[in-house]
Structure 1
Amino acid sequence: MRKFGGERLARTAAQGMLVRGERIRAPRLFPMKHHPHFPRSGLVARLALAVILGFSAAWLAAAGTTVKVTVLSTTDLHGRVYPVDYYTGKAAEVGLAKIATLVQRERKDDPDLLLIDCGDTIQGTPMVYYHNRRHNEPTDPMMLAMNSLRYDAMVPGNHEYNFGLAVLQKARSEASFPWLSANTIAKSTGKPAYDPYLVKEVRGVRIGILGLTTPGIPRWEDPEHYAGLEFLETVGVAEKYVRILREQEHVDAVVVAMHMGIDGDPALVEPASPLRPAAENAALAIARQVPGIDLILMAHTHRTVSALSANGVLLTQAGYWGNHLVKAELFFAQEESGGWKLQAKSARAQPVHAGIPADEAILALIRPYHDEAQAWLDTKIGVSARALDAREGSLRDTALIDLIQRVQLETGQADVSLAANYNRSAFIPEGDVTVRDIAAIYVYENTLYVVEITGAQLKAALEHAAGFFLPYEPGRTPAQLMNPEIPAYNFDMAAGVSYEIDLRRAPGDRIRNLVFKGEPLAPGRKLRLAINNYRYNGGGGYTMLKGAPVLMRSGAEIRDLIIDWVTKNKTIPAEPDNNWRIVH
């Protein structure tokens, strides 16, 4: 237990979690309100996990005619079908093929279940990268697998836009189910660019499914990747369409499938910050402020949330990469008028593990895409004199991060480069180096920008990066001071200058001895700075770089630039230049 805002916080599932004075209830099966067929005694509460214990059928029988509607959800699959880590070549307990096994089991119990994906689906592995960038003629592999599994709907996430609108629209056209996003608006018409919602009737019960996409896309993507679209704030849009679903479509329950989630510790919902704008993850705001919602399927934050209750709304999230499948159940009793009333609901995030086999039909369906990607990844392109890794890439200068910097500096003819540790698990072996090894260094679909900035802007960017470390505490190491709420990809390091990060100083005043070409960097000195498009658009809170004059842009992803550099130069530099260090 601990104090926050004068109130005690219970941190166990059985006791619940408090969010700014509102009790976010623990996972459980709970009734919608007191009802003669659903006595309070023994019904609520002492369940710490959102599981339906075998009593549900008998328990509902007293209500007369009853219907259970099952809703399954996946999210943030990021191109994972095969249970494999493409960057290491090793098996991984993730992927849509394993999820398929769970879905098929659930369909045996409930053939009428609903299956929904909450986005970030067509991007994220070398397999879908190869398809989207190098061999896009066949059907999108994710849509192919999802069609086979009979998905009912999908919400586009921000990463659906990574490869541009042509790739997005092709994948969308190949889906046998609608993509839903009520707050993505076509500027030419002022109307939603996707279907805003879907109504499904399950054994006479009408279920409304509303789709919402995080409106943060313009902060992360190049404008041409969402040309002609705008992304509205979601609370007002949700309120509008929930009213339509209730009053015009006459649904019996409203499910909101969103590519948004909850930031930070759900028991201490953090205020908005440049790193995490308020609208990016509006799940709790929508649950609190929009009446008429029964279930929210969350996404985007890569969290696993079995069940939370806020304002009577059940929230749940299926993790990421297909490592969980959410199963939500809605229980309805028929009223004397013939209508249906939601009486109880539950949710649980079911984990994927080694004991769940991959579905052979899905594996066979996607095998051509998988084999094509594996052949490309196994291509030998260079050599390394010794083994290199990125485990400490955010604590000291390393040869792997320097390789990214070198490629950015040379490609952009830049004075200074900014890059981060994009994959702490990246590893290059001694000897032959393959495409797989290099692809693991840079796992995102970023492109290169060269912009003009001043010395003052560079120092501001480095001070912002140094906020990756918590305020100094004597005796704690830099590793212990790393802020767990800030991902490593938002801690930029610079090449082309030398400097120190003095953790003993207050955040905002930690960069010392910043030197360019042997002299202290003058605040007004003009520089050609190489960065990725995410930084150029202000991603990660680097607002001092947003909108800087563009001197050069690459058409290729930075990953491909690095692969091309190694293919041409053959030998990977094995020693860092040690141009920066941490002082503590």
Structure 2
Amino acid sequence: MIAHRRSPRLSSTLSILLGFRAVSVAGAFFVAAAVQGLASTESVAPERAVVTILATADLHGHVFPHDYFTQRPAAYGLAKVATLVRQIRRAAPEALLVDCGDTIQGSPLAYYHARHDNTPVDPMMLAMNALGYVSLTIGNHEFNYGLDVLHKARNEAAFPWLSANTVRAGTSEPAFAPFVVREVDGVRVGILGITTPGIPGWENPDHITGLEFADPVDSAARWVAHLRETEHADVVVAALHMGMEENLRTGRREESPTPRENAALEIARTVSGIDLVLMAHTHREVSALVVGDALLAQPGRWGDHLVRADLHLERPDAASRWRVIARSSRTIPVRADTSPDPEILALVQPYEDATQAWLGRAIGTSAAELRATDSRLRDTAILDLVQRVQLDAGSADVSMAASFNTSARIPAGDVTVRDIASLYVYDNTLVVVALTGAQLKEALEHSARYFRPFQPGLSAAELVDTSIPGYNFDVAEGVDYAIDLRRPPGDRIVDLRFQGEPLAPDRVLRVATNNYRHNGGGGYTMYRDAPILHKSSAEIRDLIIEWVDRNRTIPAEPTKNWRIVTGDTE
């Protein structure tokens, strides 16, 4: 025999109600209503909602799915990302699309628009408006072309540019919107923008006039509290232009001379009230990572992935606040067979046509094919071209340059703007400073940290420290020297000579470098206080193009002024 058990609360209530011996018609209605109300109260399910967030980052002006330098198809670009966005919106039409910065700089398309024909609407804003972005967090490269170009693009956007920690100089007042709040299915979603604070160390001072960059962690704490308490946000998304500052597998912190250049983990760990952290700046792909109470994700670079995050919420009734009960994220890859969105292609096609015409212009010749494949391991004619231009343009004694693209190639025969653009991919400008022999050696020693401590039997290529970006390995022209990897870091530069003689520590030289280095970028602090002897507003890329156009012929042999020593082989 099975005993049927009632809820104690329901049994007690029924006993009280049924205990009346005489019940009027009105009373009968009351009993029925009471019982019905009790049953409905116990069976009502809480309200549910889902907020879908889509994110891009570090697009760097890439719309079309091709490599501008090889002219081959590529599995990236905003046009392909647009196809993924539209597919998701068929099932989730209220999905919010955000960008985490470094958007208007970084491709020939973006460069040609900014420097050669900035009158039309910025092509990235044109495409992003069509896709219905709700915000863009300002990245460090948004400042590369100066404030006039930045503000023009910002004003052409149909969505706010966010940066809670970019403030007016001498104040705590944000110079841009710190956040935006959107409502999705009755849920208030606050999106907070935070920018990496290292910009003064990388950017020309006139590109950030009147601006300062506040501590990102303090700014996040201040504005998350505001979103929760004043804006009554049910969900808070921190859209950061910064990445993770630590290898979570090893616990090793990423080296950076800029305090809190990347502070995503610290923000996730210490700032309460954040549901989702979207990252950028480091070009990594992170599909899903839970740190403390926050979910973190990052979509790679150039539109090669799209982040999708789904936040599930519930509340007991309409008078209560929503709370997140589950969350998930993933990165959706852009593939070779992902079709680019035809509307986005059509919008940007006139910009693309003008860019391709510029890139295809022949400006000189080379007697032999020059490649940058080994340019970080030996002296090469292709990098010597950069050095030669910097020496000439700056009337310098010594030039310092890095190989930015080891896939760069200058063909035998006609040389085009495209070939030079592939060699010098950054929008740096030329700076000539006065350095002593001791300071120059310090710079070369800092550069030589690109290689790990010596291990017998390993080649220079095998000793490369992969945690140090190759673009921070500078080599010099105008002096002769060797990098002896058998010696400890900080004491590797040997036989340093200028004009055939040992370089005296107090000898003052005119040294050509780029603005990024002069501002201390890559940890080259010895440049920061060095007297400026010459400064060009023209990009070094344009100086190289002009040099080739004027001289017509590119020298095909390296000067062989530096070498790496590892023992048996050099």
Mapping of 1:85-234 within 5 angstroms?
85-187=67-169, 190-234=172-216
Contact 1:75–1:118, Cα closer than 8 Å, also in 2: yes
Q: CA deviation digits over 1:201-224, x for unaligned, max 9?
A: 101001111100000000100100
Distance 1:578 1:266 in 2: 42
Q: Name the SS for the 2:88 alignment partner.
A: helix
From 239, 253, 268, give the equivalent of 1:287: 268
Could you tell me whether the CA contact under 8 Å between 1:271 and 1:278 is conserved in 2? Answer: no
Name 2:59's counterpart in structure 1: 77
Distance 1:272 1:93 in 2: 29
- Determine whether 1:265 maps to 2:257: no
Give how far 1:325 is off: 0.1
How do residues 528-567 of structure 1 correspond to structure 2 at under 5 angstroms? 528-567=510-549
Give deviations 1:452-483, integer Å, cap 9, x for gaps: 01000000000000000000001111001111
- C-alpha displacement of 1:189: 5.5
Task: Name the CA distance, whole Å, in 2 between partners of 1:207 and 1:420.
Answer: 44
**Do 1:78 and 1:125's aligned partners in 2 also have CA atoms closer than 8 Å?**
yes
Structure with bigger helix share is 2
**How far off its partner does 1:488 sit?**
1.1
1:302 maps to which residue? 283
Contact 2:401–2:475 (CA under 8 A) maintained in structure 1: yes
Q: Distance in 2 between matches of 1:321 and 1:62?
A: 47
TM-score, normalised to structure 2, is: 0.90
> What's 2:305 paired with?
324
Cα displacement (A) at 1:250: 1.0
TM-score (norm 1): 0.88
8 Å Cα contact 2:45-2:316 kept in structure 1: no
Cα distance in 2 between the residues matched to 1:173 and 1:210:
19
Is the CA contact 1:263–1:301 (under 8 Å) kept in the aligned structure 2?
A: no
| Equivalent pair of 1:416/1:496 in contact (CA under 8 Å) | yes
Matching residue's letter, 1:294: D
Match of 1:458 among 427, 437, 440: 440
Q: Deviations over 1:77-102 (max 9, x none)?
A: 00000001111211111100000000
Amino acid in structure 2 at the alignment position of 1:176: A
1:483 lines up with 2:469 in the alignment:
no
RMSD (Å), alpha carbons: 1.2
Match for 2:289: what amino acid? L
* Preserved CA contact (<8 Å) 2:243 2:279: yes
For the 8 Å contact 1:417–1:496, the answer to whether it is kept is yes
Contact 1:384 1:430 in 2 (8 A): yes
1:90 alignment partner, SS class: coil
Whole-Å separation in 1 of the counterparts to 2:246 and 2:456: 26
Cα contact 1:115–1:153 (8 A) shared by 2: yes
Structure 2 residue 226 is the aligned partner of structure 1 residue 244: yes
Matched, 1:426 2:403: no
Q: Secondary structure at the residue paired with 1:168?
A: helix
* 1:526 matches 2:508: yes
Q: Deviations over 1:39-67 (max 9, x none)?
A: xxxxxxxxxxxxxxxxxxxxxx9964211
Match of 2:135, as an amino acid? A
Bigger shift: residues 337-346 or 174-183? 337-346
Counterpart code for 1:575: E
1:315 counterpart = 2:301: no
- Whole-Å separation in 2 of the counterparts to 1:138 and 1:547: 39
2:418 — aligned with what?
436
- Which sections of structure 1, spanning at least 5 residues, go unmatched? 1-60
Tell me how many residue pairs correspond in the alignment: 523
Separation of aligned partners in 2, 1:149 and 1:63: 36
Equivalent-residue separation in structure 1 for 2:50 and 2:357 (angstroms): 46
Counterpart AA for 1:292? G
Q: Gapped runs of 5+ residues in structure 2?
A: 1-42
CA distance in 2, matches of 1:71, 1:503: 49
The Cα of 1:186 is off from its aligned counterpart by: 1.2
1:334 Cα deviation from its structure 2 partner: 1.9
Report the CA distance between 1:298 and its aligned residue. Answer: 0.2
- 1:335 touches 1:341 (CA, 8 Å); kept in 2? no
Displacement of 1:293: 0.6
Conserved 8 A contact 1:263-1:269: no
Deviations 1:11-34 (A, max 9, x none): xxxxxxxxxxxxxxxxxxxxxxxx
Whether 2:295 is the aligned partner of 1:342: answer: no
1:188-209 C-alpha deviation (Å, 9 max, x unpaired): 7641011101111101001111
For 2:260, the aligned partner's letter is A
Instruction: Decide whether the 8 Å contact of 2:46 with 2:316 is kept in 1.
Output: no
For residues 188 and 462 of structure 1, the distance between their equivalents in structure 2, rounded to whole angstroms, comes to 37
| Selected match of 1:374 from 347, 352, 356 | 356
Identical aligned residues as a percent: 58
2:390 is aligned to: 408
Q: CA–CA distance in 2 between the matches of 1:272 and 1:201?
A: 37
Query: Residues 63 and 333 of structure 1 are in contact (CA less than 8 Å); yes or no, is this contact kept in structure 2?
Result: no
Per-residue Cα deviation, 1:490-519 (whole angstroms, up to 9, x for no partner): 000000000000000000000000000110
Conserved? CA contact 2:57–2:300, under 8 Å = yes
Measure the CA separation in 2 of the matches of 1:298 and 1:117. Answer: 10
| Alignment-mate amino acid for residue 291 of structure 2 | A
**Residue identity matched to 2:303:** G
- State the one-letter code of the partner of 1:310: V
The equivalent of 2:15 in structure 1 is none
1:502 partner letter: D
Contact 2:103–2:141 under 8 Å retained in 1: yes
Alpha-carbon distance between aligned partners in 1 of 2:179 and 2:134, rounded to the nearest angstrom: 11
Amino acid in structure 1 at the alignment position of 2:550: K
State the secondary structure of the residue aligned to 1:83.
coil
Task: Spell out, residue by residue over 1:225-274, the C-alpha distance to the aligned partner (whole angstroms, 9 max, x if none).
Answer: 0000000111111111111111111111110001000135332343364x
Q: Aligned letter for 2:301?
A: Y
The answer as to whether partners of 1:264 and 1:485 remain within 8 angstroms in 2 is no
Mark the CA change 1:379 to 1:311 in structure 2 (over 3 Å): closer, same or farther.
same
Aligned to 1:473: 455
- Tell me, yes or no, if the aligned pair for 2:245 and 2:264 is still in contact at 8 Å: no
Q: Sort the Cα spacing of 1:554 and 1:368 in 2 relative to 1 into closer, same or farther, 3 A.
A: same
Cα gap change, 1:180 to 1:269, in 2 (>3 Å): farther
CA distance in 1, matches of 2:207, 2:502: 39
* Larger Rg over CA atoms: 2
Residue of structure 2 in register with 1:27 after alignment: none
2:427 alignment counterpart: 445
List per-residue Cα deviations over 1:394-435 (Å, max 9, x = no partner).
Answer: 000000110000000000000000000011110111111100
